[in-house]
Amino acid sequence: MKSNVGKLLSTAAIAATISAGATAATLDDVKAKGFVQCGVSQGVPGFSNADVNGEWSGIDVDACRATAAAIFGDAQKVKFTPLSAKERFTALQSGEIDLLARNTTWTYTRDASLGLDFTAVNFYDGQGFMVRKDLGIDSAKDLDGATVCTEQGTTTELNMADFFRKNQLSYVPVVVQKADEALSAYASGRCDVFTTDKSGLASHRTKLANPDQHVILDDTISKEPLGPVVRHGDNQWKDIVTWALFVQVNAEEMGISSKNVDQIKSGTTDPGIKRLLGVEGDMGAQLGLPAEWAYNIIAKVGNYGEVFERNVGPSTPVGLPRGINKLWTDGGVMYAPPVR
């Protein structure tokens, strides 16, 4: 989900302050309070969603937990702050949260003008459209005259406007404050179409009374690389959050999972794996982390494949295929620099 550029520029004063004098002590602050304060969505199944007991799960939640595991050796040392699309960047800029992991798209404007830095992509996505099956629509180009629901404070509005203008189609936008409100408006028949990132559509479809009566069209109208965001100017903190994900991708590529990491750690002769798991050298020291920082991420949270499968994979209600989020060795684009 993606913030409207014009509205985001209203935060320029905060961004300028951060860029000019960002605090380079996020790790120290996190250690002092004993947890990572992580900004997440207000409820997107598979990405960040709380159950009836208040337990959070999802790909973005696991990004927060991986960071905590790297620092503390404990993936549970995280507190979550649910944020709307409109609130999320201000919460990070102001220091209310340490890390934003809220299915947030990496764009030029966000990276260059908000006093924020994107770290790494944890899900490659694209914007799409969901409609009722009984409408008999097969393509987004058949949506001429449609009423379309979307969330306020997202560039979904801009992508949608570009798509309809480019294809010379008319439409009526219905813009609401929150994603769940957009879904409710769609479910009630107030609009014909619901648009957001395709992963978000799959997630929200699970909340509908009869999910099978709704279809996500094949059309993908934008690129949406999603990933965690931190404040600009604290390179150490950015590196920690970035490499927490890179460790998970490298672990999957090496065949290391939460299930076998202890066995591999005790028996491997591979120097690359020894470095990764802290058996040889002390790679963690370069980030101000323990020697077993990467081992802790894998043991406590899992590799990237495990994170994907348990949160949004084919066996979950969200039911997404790996697609382009496969490893580069399997024909996807998920790729991480080596730990060496």
pLDDT in tens, 253-275: 999 999 999 999 999 999 999 99
SS3 call for 323: helix
Residue 5 has pLDDT above 60, yes or no: no
Best CA proximity match to 295, nearest among 308, 278, 272, 270:
278
pLDDT at 310 over 80: yes
**If you average pLDDT over every residue of the chain, what do you get?**
92
DSSP reduced 3-state for 164: helix
Mean pLDDT is lowest, of 148-152, 255-259, 283-287, 317-321, for 148-152
Average of pLDDT values for 225-243?
Answer: 97
Q: Give residue 18's pLDDT.
A: 46
Residue 7 has pLDDT above 60, yes or no: no
Quote the CA–CA distance of 60 and 326 in Å, as a whole number. Answer: 17
Indicate the range of 174-188, 209-223, 243-257, 308-322 predicted with least confidence. 174-188
Instruction: Tell me what the mean pLDDT of segment 107-124 comes to.
Output: 96
Report the 10 Å Cβ neighbour count for 166.
Answer: 9
Compute CA distances 82 → 40, 77, 117, 303, whole Å: 5, 17, 20, 25
- Give the CA dihedral 169, 174, 178, 181, nearest 10 degrees: -120
Q: Alpha carbon 283 to chain centroid distance?
A: 26
Element (H, E) at 132: strand 127-132
Let me know: does 131 contact 219? Beta carbons within 8 Å.
no
Mean pLDDT, residues 99-113 taken together: 95
pTM: 0.89
Which superfamily, per CATH, for 126-224? Answer: Periplasmic binding protein-like II (3.40.190.10)
DSSP assigned state of 324: G
Provide the H-helix boundaries in the chain.
5-8, 12-21, 26-33, 59-72, 88-93, 108-113, 156-166, 179-187, 198-205, 235-254, 261-267, 271-277, 293-300, 304-311
What is residue 158's predicted lDDT score, i.e. its pLDDT? 87
> Using CA atoms, how far apart are residues 323 and 256, in angstroms rounded to an integer?
21
Q: What percent of the chain has pLDDT over 70?
A: 93
Rg (CA), the chain: 20
Map out the domains of the chain as residue ranges.
Answer: 126-224
